[in-house]
Structures are given as C-alpha cells and as structure tokens.
C-alpha cells in the first residue's frame, strides 16, 4: 500500500509540473512533453519535436491570424491561451485588471511601450490586427531576446496559472 501511495504521489507531481502539447487539435503523435514551471528560463523539451504541416484546422479569421503570426509550432498554445483570456473576442475588456482585446493586453503595464513602439491607443487595442501585432511583440520579447521568434507566454495569466489547458479545443 505504501508503494502504491508513493506511485500515486509521483504521478500527481508529474501531472502538476508537465503538460502534453500536440501541434494539432486532437492528441496523436508526435507529442511534446514540457515542464510547466521550469527552474530554467527556457522550457526543457523532454521528447523530440517533430514538425507537422498537416492537420491544423482553423475555424475563424482570428485563429487564422494567430496561425499566421505564431506559426504551427505555437498555434495551439497561443489560441488556447487567448481563448481562455478573452473567448477570442476582440471587444473583450476586463475592467478590474484593465486587460483589453483578443489577447487581453494589460493596458496599465504596456501603455507607454505600445505608444512608443506602435503609436497605438487603448481604442486601437480593440482592433484584432493591432491587438495581435502587439501581443506577438510582447511574446517575442518576453524570453529576453526580441526578434528570435522564440518568445514566452509568461505575460499571460492563463499560461502562468495553467488554466489555458481547459480551453484547448
């Protein structure tokens, strides 16, 4: 009984610190196991990544724009995060946190950098294209190196708290 309890605890610990990502909407191989809250700044890939060029189903123009910006590798993750954040609604506003648009950009945090980089206002963040452009820029620089196309979703609460997993379709 003690051995079984230890095994259950190990399984729960693994489930709390790892997630399975598939580049398509249904789970099938190849899959990638990644640590959810790694001690290192970059995620450690525990299984090899294999690119899949078929099988991504895009249902809406917003999903197509996410695919165009983030590519196949990050499409499912980005779409899941933004679906959790806003329901993929361009007019979504969280009045208590001041998060705006499809990607729920936190306006108090990003107002000055967005104005300096893009010249966009708060109203512009309700425009899907501008909101996604800014979100991609935030993602791209969040790993500490802008322009390497290997950003981080750490700025989004749905990613850091893991709730995006419930929004995968």
List, for residues 26-76, the tens digit of each pLDDT value: 444 445 555 555 444 444 444 333 344 456 788 899 999 999 999 999 999
On the question of pLDDT at 157 being above 80, the answer is: yes
79 and 126, same domain (yes or no)? yes
The residue with greater pLDDT, 99 or 14, is: 99
Final residue in a domain of this structure, among 51, 70, 88? 51
Is the overall model pTM greater than 0.85, yes or no?
A: no
Alpha-carbon span 76 to 10, nearest angstrom: 28
Q: How many domains does the chain have?
A: 2
- Residue 98 sits in which domain range? 56-169
99 and 141, same domain (yes or no)? yes
42 and 65, same domain (yes or no)? no
In this prediction, residue 168 carries a pLDDT of 86
């Amino acid at each position: 009984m003690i051995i079984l309890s230890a095994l259950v605890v190990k399984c729960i610990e693994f489930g709390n610190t790892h997630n399975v990502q598939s580049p398509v909407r249904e789970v099938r191989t190849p899959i990638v196991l990644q640590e959810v809250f790694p001690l290192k700044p970059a995620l450690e890939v525990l299984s090899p990544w294999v690119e899949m060029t078929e099988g991504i189903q895009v249902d809406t123009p917003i999903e197509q724009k996410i695919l165009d910006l983030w590519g196949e590798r990050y499409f499912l993750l980005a779409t899941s995060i933004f679906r959790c954040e806003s329901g993929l609604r361009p007019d979504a506003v969280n009045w208590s946190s001041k998060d705006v648009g499809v990607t729920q950009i936190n306006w108090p945090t990003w107002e000055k950098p967005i104005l300096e980089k893009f010249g966009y206002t708060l109203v512009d963040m309700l425009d899907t294209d501008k909101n996604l452009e800014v979100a991609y820029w935030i993602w791209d620089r969040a790993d500490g190196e802008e322009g390497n196309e290997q950003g981080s979703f750490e700025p989004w609460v749905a990613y850091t708290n893991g709730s995006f997993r419930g929004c995968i379709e």
